[in-house]
Chain A
Amino acid sequence: MDTHVHDRRRFLALAAGAAAAPLLTACGAGFGGNDDKSDGSAADDVTGSFDWKREKGTTVKALLNKHPYTDALIADLKSFTEKTGIKVEYDVFPEDNYFDKLTVDLSSGRASYDVFMLGAYMVWQYGPPNWLEDLGPWMRNSSATGAEWDQADFFPNLLQADQWSLKAGAPLGQGGQYALPWGWETNVVAYNTELFKKLGVKPAETFDELTELAGTIKRKAPGAGFDGMYGIAVRGSRSWATIHPGFMTMYARNGLKDFTVDGGKLTPAMNSPEAVAFTEDWARMVKRGGPPSWTSYTWYQCSSDLGAKKAGMLFDADTAAYFQAVKGASPASGKIAFHPGPKGPGGSLATNMWIWSLGMNAKSKKKSASWLFLQWATGKDHLRRSAIAHNHIDPVRKSVADDAAYKDKMRHLPGFLETFETVVDQTKIQFTPQAQFFDATTSWAAALQEIYGGKGAQSVLDGLADDLAGKVG
């Protein structure tokens, strides 16, 4: 009997040990993950003369976001395979899930995808844990990069937006090149010309005028034959994406900063007296002329409201208006014009931007082939074809922006080219680069919602600044 008990104990002890062994092993291994990182770049392995066919027969796996720019890329993939002999397999996810999918995939440390779409803000999150390949050595290696790629042809502010030293608060344009600009969006005001004509109004040149105009449209548009129309569509959902288009553009035009940087230490500045006053003004504008159910508004709703003649104006990405403005796209198509939007004090047209960039997985086993893909996707030929034959507008390359065929294509949209040319040099990332960007901006959007809901701006933004002070730095 004693032996039996002893046996059972021994068995349970062995079973527990067997169960715990992989647990402990996995725990140890779970944190490792970076042991195969080499000091040198894989770009150094590429030697000899440049050859598009160098990786013939290889397959590159891409993760893409559902977007008209993506459609243009997919439509032209055949030419890449013909040029290089490299096959591209891809998965496309809608934007709501895209970044979660990418984040989880990269954080797993596997090389499920060799290349992917990302924004400049994602560099701040994915760069510090070494998930992104530094493309600088690839760009500098003439064996890996063809002469026709022409780095100088990119708008400098776009190329710099994906360069960072990985140090919180350090300005962009220094350090590694963690992605390449591929397609971008500048934030402007688009408006319904039919409505403006009927009401006899003009685009606002100051923020006070914009607030007034938004209210006027909400009051008068229904009487002018635009039933249910409100003044201005701006994003309002509890997401980082609410802060970066119109709000951050106008915030920057007022000379305001998200953080101040002193000796590498970041201090939240969204509760400065000027920032509080501006935030109150923004919430007031939304209340007076913004969309109903604003707190759930993403760019999809903003864009479709402009197209459906539910919004008189849109202060968001130019592409959000463009896709409604093209012929046959919406009830408002042919009646949408573009304007740089209100100027800040002193005439500032500082504009925040979004860049759809392309990056490479640092764990990719096919870096050479992936680099050829990135080179082709951001090259002159593909981008020109995409801009002219498809809807890959807002060129990242000067040669495409200056191309006569591109200009001819865009000329029918009133104010589009003029607006683009007016703001292009003043458009840049207006946020301070730091790894907690998504936490900071999601909390900022929540604060904006609370102020819109009637809470005191100063106390809400003080709370936000206190919370963020402990997280960044």
Chain B
Amino acid sequence: MGWRLTLRPYLLIVPALLLTCGILYPFGLGLYYTLFDFSASKPQPDMVRFENYRAVFTQEAFWNSAWVTVLYAVGAALTETVLGVAVALLLYRSSLLGRVLEKILILPLMIAPVIAAIIWKLMLQPSVGVVNHLLKPFGLGGVQWTDTPTGALLSSIAVDVWVYTPFVAILALAGLRSLPTSPFEAAAVDGAGWWYTFRRLTLPMLWPYVLVAVIFRFMDSLKVFDIIYALTEGGPGDSTVVLQIRAYLEAIRFQRYSFGISYTIVLWAVVYLAAMVLVKHLGKIQRKAAEVTT
């Protein structure tokens, strides 16, 4: 009887242990490969220890990609948050129209990002694309959207915003609907204006929901590949080569496996650190929101 009781806790953790191994095994293997100079031209590699990481950090291309990745992630996450919250507020105030629009709003989320990028690639085409056609009456018909470095980056962010703003909006809307009504009623009795109520009540209580959306979107944007690759392939020049695209090119196209994996490990570390900071921040914000509610 005694051994059964002793064994039970260990048996209960077996599924979790298997799952953890399933996650850690490929990750560990990838990490291990980065210590070698494994490539198509060197299938019998030597142990080079941290040489791949040294090579990554001393490469100008890495810093360019890191900068582009940060610009993209911050630009996309910030825009999606602002727009998403704004859309949620509009939908929340207009209940009938809100319900109809809510259904439409979710459509971009149902499209694979790579397909969305291809649709936008066609729409942004300078001569036959619908965007320039619509801008023509305003004298802006000849814009070459993805032919300049700034244009390519902004166009990529715009596609990301188109796809994922509904995600933030839906999350924020769910948050708005779950807020207690009594603080708002009290504010209304006291004659508080819309802006004051929004700043002092709505936003502080809504922040935990918004921050969850920001965490998801920021982490996802740091790892972006599909939208940019389908829209610009990383061009013009290296202007939209984010870390994921660089890793893909190195590992798959150029077959420098260890070097490519090193890029992804560095990216993983960045995403992990960013997520840790944001999650820690989320806890603080949740506590503040609870104070406002009470």
The chain A residues found within 8 Å of chain B, CB to CB, are 4, 7, 11, 15, 19, 22-23, 26-27, 30-31, 33-34, 100, 103-104, 107, 125-126, 128-130, 228, 230, 237-239, 291-296, 310, 435-436, 438-439, 442, 445-447, 449-450, 452-453, 455, 467
Rounded to whole Å, the gap between the CB of B237 and the closest CB of chain A is: 4
- Contact yes or no, B29 A27, CB < 8 A: yes
CB < 8 Å neighbour of B17 from A15, A238, A295, A453: A15
Asked if B44 and A31 make an inter-chain contact with CB atoms under 8 angstroms apart, the answer reads: yes
Q: List 29 A-B contacts (CB under 8 A).
A: A19-B25, A31-B43, A33-B43, A100-B252, A103-B252, A103-B253, A125-B40, A292-B127, A292-B147, A293-B127, A294-B147, A295-B152, A295-B232, A296-B146, A296-B232, A435-B40, A435-B41, A438-B253, A442-B254, A446-B234, A446-B235, A446-B237, A449-B237, A450-B236, A450-B237, A452-B147, A453-B147, A453-B149, A455-B237
B235 touches A129 (CB 8 A): no
Q: Does B196 sit at the interface, judged by CB under 8 A?
A: no
Q: How far is the CA of A11 from the CA of B6 in the complex (A)?
A: 12
Q: Is the CB of A23 within 8 A of B127?
A: no
Instruction: Type the 1/0 row for B33-65, where 1 means its CB is closer than 8 Å to any CB of A.
Output: 100101011011100000000000000010000
On whether the beta carbons of A100 and B43 are closer than 8 Å, the reply is no
Q: Which residue of the partner chain, among A11, A26, A292, contacts B10 with CB atoms under 8 Å?
A: A11
B43: which of A26, A34, A238 is its contact (CB, 8 Å)? A34
In the complex, are the beta carbons of B40 and A128 less than 8 A apart? yes
With a cutoff of 8 Å between Cβ atoms, the chain A residues found around residue B128 in the complex are 228, 310
Q: Are A26 and B235 in contact (CB under 8 A)?
A: no
Besides the contacts A103-B253, A292-B125, what 5 more A-B pairs have beta carbons closer than 8 Å?
A: A30-B29, A129-B41, A293-B145, A296-B235, A442-B249
Q: Which 5 A-B pairs have the closest CB atoms?
A: A238-B235, A292-B126, A449-B236, A450-B237, A238-B233
Give the nearest-CB partner of A131 in chain B: B40
The smallest C-beta distance from B116 to any residue of chain A, in angstroms, reads 16
- In the assembled complex, the CB of B225 is this many whole angstroms from the nearest CB of chain A, namely 13
Q: How far is the CB of A167 from chain B (nearest CB, A)?
A: 12
Q: Pick the contact of A295 from B32, B147, B238 — CB < 8 Å?
A: B147
**Chain A residues with CB under 8 A of B15:** none
CB distance from A472 to the nearest CB of B (A): 11
Give chain B's interface secondary structure class.
Answer: loop
Q: Which residues of A contact B25 (CB under 8 A)?
A: 19, 22-23
Contacts of A439 in B (CB 8 A): 249, 253-254
Residues of A within 8 A of B10 (CB): 11
Give the residue of B40, B149, B233, B253 whose beta carbon is less than 8 angstroms from that of A237. Answer: B233
User: Given B24, B43, B253, which contacts A442 in the complex, CB threshold below 8 Å?
Assistant: B253
Q: How far is the CA of A31 from the CA of B126 in the complex (A)?
A: 48
| Chain B contacts for A453, CB-based, 8 A | 147-149, 236-237
Chain A residues with CB under 8 A of B33: 27, 30
Give the shortest distance, in Å, between A128 (CB) and chain B (any CB): 5
Which residues from 105 to 148 on chain B have a C-beta closer than 8 Å to any C-beta of chain A? 121, 124-128, 142, 144-148
Contact B36 A238 (CB under 8 A): no
Interface residues of B (CB under 8 A from A): 6, 10, 17, 21, 24-25, 28-29, 32-33, 36, 38, 40-41, 43-45, 61, 121, 124-128, 142, 144-149, 152, 231-238, 249, 252-255
State the CA gap A291–B128 with chains docked (Å): 12
CB proximity of B190 to chain A, nearest CB, Å: 56
Chain B residues with CB under 8 A of A446: 234-238
- In the complex, the chain B residue whose C-beta lies closest to that of A240 is B253
Closest chain A residue to B125, Cβ basis? A293
Whether the pair B44, A34 counts as a contact (CB closer than 8 A) is yes
Q: Which residue of A lies closest to B126 (CB)?
A: A292
Specify which of B121, B144, B255 is in contact with A103 (CB 8 Å cutoff): B255
Contact present for B144 and A293 (CB under 8 Å): yes
A23 and B29 within 8 A (CB)? yes
Are A31 and B38 closer than 8 Å at their CB atoms? yes
A293 touches B146 (CB 8 A): yes
Task: Looking at the assembled complex, report how far the CB atom of B123 sits from the nearest CB atom of chain A, in whole angstroms.
Answer: 12
Chain B residue numbers with a CB within 8 Å of A7 are 6
| Complex-state Cα separation, A470 to B23, whole angstroms | 36
User: A4 — which chain B residues lie within 8 A by C-beta?
Assistant: 6
CA separation between A439 and B41, bound complex, in Å? 13
* Chain A residues within an 8 Å CB radius of B142: 292
* CB contact under 8 A between A26 and B38, given known A442-B253, A447-B237: no
Which chain A residues lie closer than 8 Å to B255 at the CB level? 103, 107, 125
CA distance A292 to B142 in the complex (A): 9
Tell me the bound Cα distance from A4 to B5 in angstroms. Answer: 12
Contact of B235 among A30, A104, A291, A295 (CB under 8 A): A295
A7-B6, A23-B28, A435-B40 given; A292·B253 CB < 8 A: no
Residues in B neighbouring A435, C-beta threshold 8 A? 40-41
Chain A residues with Cβ under 8 A from B145's Cβ?
293
> Do B236 and A436 touch across chains, with their CB atoms under 8 A apart?
no
Residues from chain B with a CB closer than 8 A to the CB of A449 are 235-237
Q: Output the nearest chain B residue to A96 by Cβ-Cβ distance.
A: B230
- The smallest C-beta distance from A29 to any residue of chain B, in angstroms, reads 11
Q: How far is the CB of B16 from chain A (nearest CB, A)?
A: 11
Across-interface contacts of A104 in B (CB, < 8 A) = 252
Residues of B within 8 A of A455 (CB): 237
B152: A residues at CB distance < 8 A: 295
Q: Which residues of B contact A125 (CB under 8 A)?
A: 40, 255
Q: Using A104-B252, A238-B234 as known contacts, say yes or no to A295 and B40 having CB atoms under 8 A apart.
A: no
Residue numbers in A under 8 Å from B29 (CB-CB): 23, 26-27, 30
Q: Are A237 and B44 touching (Cβ within 8 A)?
A: no
Complex CA gap A256/B261 in Å reads 36
